[in-house]
Chains A and B, each alone.
Chain A
């Protein structure tokens, strides 16, 4: 039966994540926005609590670490599972602070990649490692098939050479999941992902970026210079296969994109909530009306932002719901990411505008959220990449036809 409400069974999880956002993240949000590159020590203790939460209950905690593997659940009929849970948890955490949510140990997007592609042995060995994700290079961003980093087999090892940038949590994580090509002449099919543990000789963090937003999260440039990793650290199938190779790696995104969409929804909600709080303080209540032309401009704009926000939220829940039910959701995941990415950015920027100099100043967090939100329309595939994916699916076009 049709129901578009959040199921009650996730209420404890949402409450838990909301407490974390309110009591742990918010009080230190501005501090680590100013002290870029300082490690938020508060998160260590919190991470242990988080691990406890994840292991404590069947429905687990709020991180991205245990994404996917939805098809493993038994039984038929309608399911609300790990994907929806993860979206809901991260939405709440990002209501607190996106940069800090990205810095929670062992909950990184690299962990999602491991969860999605690793075999049972790798999952047992690497499942509890805090893993960052390294795809982008100085010369290749959205066009991830043209990466130059190589992995050459040498006995039981692979030797990795290349440079990766924009590695979220790249300095703090225990390991990095690196995309590298086994044979650059064979194109995207030869791209594989490797888990490289911190301290492996030949791997070095070159620098940390200074950024527009999410300053609490470290963004590293990492160099691999004859970096030797065991063959057992290659995630998934080592064979170069046109069918499975790159497509398999890209499938990770079908699960992680709704999560990033959820992050955008969380930060936009934060901006709307704070805008209402400020408006209430200055006696400007919001009512919902069918005819919006008779409202004040500010009221109409807020109603419009709420509508856009709810649309982004429902698209995201749909994409996660499809993943939980084993339905192919590549198109819906990109729709959610595209919509939530741009709506999150629009909402946070508009809330700054609505609150005027108050919104623009560092007295409030509104200006910070308006800076943080921009990355959510860029990483895990830019707005434009999502539109490209959606269009190819709708029009039945290959990447060679619709470039």
Chain B
């Protein structure tokens, strides 16, 4: 589009408004200054290593968790372990996550005490086999999905932040070589497990995880990575990054990159939602990695890796959507208009019925895909169907949640505006999750 004179004038005014001089003169209001500086810091190198991963000297043999034996009957009952996990996480979500969610969203950060409380629940242990210090005995995508559902009921942004390290542990358990498992998995079972994340998305429209711009090239046994990742959960405070890159025409692969590696830089990238998850960009500028950084070996399957991520993201969407439903029901019963509760009107009541139908649809599609994965059956089709349905319906639930509260839904006094922003992420992100 060409600029006319008015366009030039507006553009000049914009640049003027952006000048730091205004700040020094004290013209700009403090709030504006904060917002301004937040976006102008630029890329920072991730040089300070919080944690060192010890190279394992004694390698355990590579471990692959066995699939569970499929049941004979159609069954929606949770087993005792799953029920216990669901119950305790529901308490954690309602006692800890929900009351702090608004503040964490506002501050765009996961507070240390919430992280420590979540670590005390030992979530990562469910991702790690016993040999490496965890408690996992079987593939357990169903349990992962149930965990995501409960945490996201408390808050989707916080759940995403807490589940990024869990997801990396899942990925190393599922795909890692003996050396990778021995190096990284024991750390996830310590009292203070490492912060870790998965970087897949890139800042292009119609982004397709199967077609990546980030490149990895081989140099003898080593690799060099170049590219830009966006929407990376906990981009700034992770100790370990699992980064997707196209490997020399061999298709997409994932690379384990430790904090402090030369050429790795990050920039905060606050988004519409998931603010508590601290999303950011990761820039890879000639990042040199040893052969051992390449996740997995001959049994690695990138498409399945993406499907596993899809399962957990769908679980997150179901949990947050359920939070919306559980919030609008009492609201519609208590809010009165024209002398009676608004829930007495079909136009309101039917929106809530549809919400319940679609959330249950999301849940059953997700559970089916996860249970197929857990029992060693194919689940690519089912994961794709769950993702598409969850992408569509989660946002429908989010937007109707706000609509049902009217003007009250639009202000931060109620959480539905946050859920609206968070639920949009279901369709836009691929990284940060692995069931």
- Footprint of B on A, CB under 8 Å? 1-9, 78-80, 84, 288-294, 303-304, 306-308, 310-312, 314-315, 317-318, 321, 332, 335, 338-339, 384, 386-388, 390-392, 394-397, 401-403
Contact = CB atoms under 8 A, between A and B. Distances in A.
Given A307-B365, A394-B352, A335 B385 contact: no
A397 B344 contact: yes
22 contacts: A2-B79, A3-B73, A3-B371, A4-B368, A80-B73, A290-B310, A291-B207, A291-B209, A293-B208, A308-B389, A311-B362, A312-B361, A314-B361, A338-B353, A384-B350, A387-B349, A392-B349, A394-B356, A395-B333, A401-B344, A403-B344, A403-B346
B175 interface: no
Interface in B160-213: 206-211
Contact of A290 (B71, B206, B430): B430
Interface of B: 68, 70-79, 82, 142, 206-211, 306-307, 310, 329, 332-333, 343-344, 346, 349-350, 352-354, 356-358, 360-362, 364-365, 367-368, 370-372, 374-375, 377, 380-389, 392, 430
Highest count of chain A CB atoms <10 Å: which of B72, B353, B354, B377: B353
B208 A294 contact: yes
A396 B352 CA distance: 12
Binding site secondary structure of chain A = helix
B385 A303 contact: yes
Nearest to A314: B364
Given A288-B381, A311-B361, A318-B360, 4 more contacts: A4-B367, A290-B307, A335-B356, A387-B353
A321 B76 contact: yes
Nearest to B371: A2
Nearest to B384: A288
Given A288-B381, A401-B344, A78 B388 contact: no
Contacts of A388: 346, 349-350, 353
Nearest to A308: B389
Contacts of A387: 346, 349-350, 353-354
A7 to B, nearest CB: 5
A288 B73 contact: no
A128 B375 CA distance: 43
B339 to A, nearest CB: 13
B350 A315 contact: no
A311 B73 contact: no
Highest count of chain B CB atoms <10 Å: which of A4, A289, A390: A4
Given A2-B75, A291-B208, A394-B329, A307 B68 contact: no
B74 A290 contact: no
A3 B370 CA distance: 9
Contacts of A401: 344
Contact of A7 (B72, B207, B353, B365): B72
A388 B389 CA distance: 24
A402 B349 contact: yes
B389 A311 contact: yes
Q: Which 10 A-B pairs have the closest CB atoms?
A: A311-B361, A391-B349, A314-B364, A4-B368, A288-B384, A390-B353, A3-B71, A307-B385, A307-B389, A387-B353
A2 B361 contact: no
B270 to A, nearest CB: 24
A314 B366 CA distance: 11
A303 B388 contact: yes
B384 A303 contact: yes
Contacts of B79: 1-2
B178 to A, nearest CB: 29
Given A307-B365, A390-B357, A7 B73 contact: yes
A315 B310 CA distance: 21
Nearest to B332: A395
Contact of B72 (A8, A318, A335): A8
A395 B349 contact: yes
B75 A315 contact: no
Contacts of A306: 381, 385
Contact of B385 (A9, A80, A288, A403): A288
Nearest to B211: A294
Contact of B75 (A1, A303, A307, A384): A1
Contacts of A391: 343, 346, 349-350, 352-353
A388 B352 CA distance: 10
A391 B79 CA distance: 30
A279 B411 CA distance: 49
Contacts of B211: 294
A294 B385 CA distance: 15
Contact of A304 (B374, B383, B392): B392
A88 to B, nearest CB: 10
A396 B387 CA distance: 32
A96 B422 CA distance: 44
Contacts of A3: 70-75, 371, 375
A262 to B, nearest CB: 14
A382 to B, nearest CB: 12
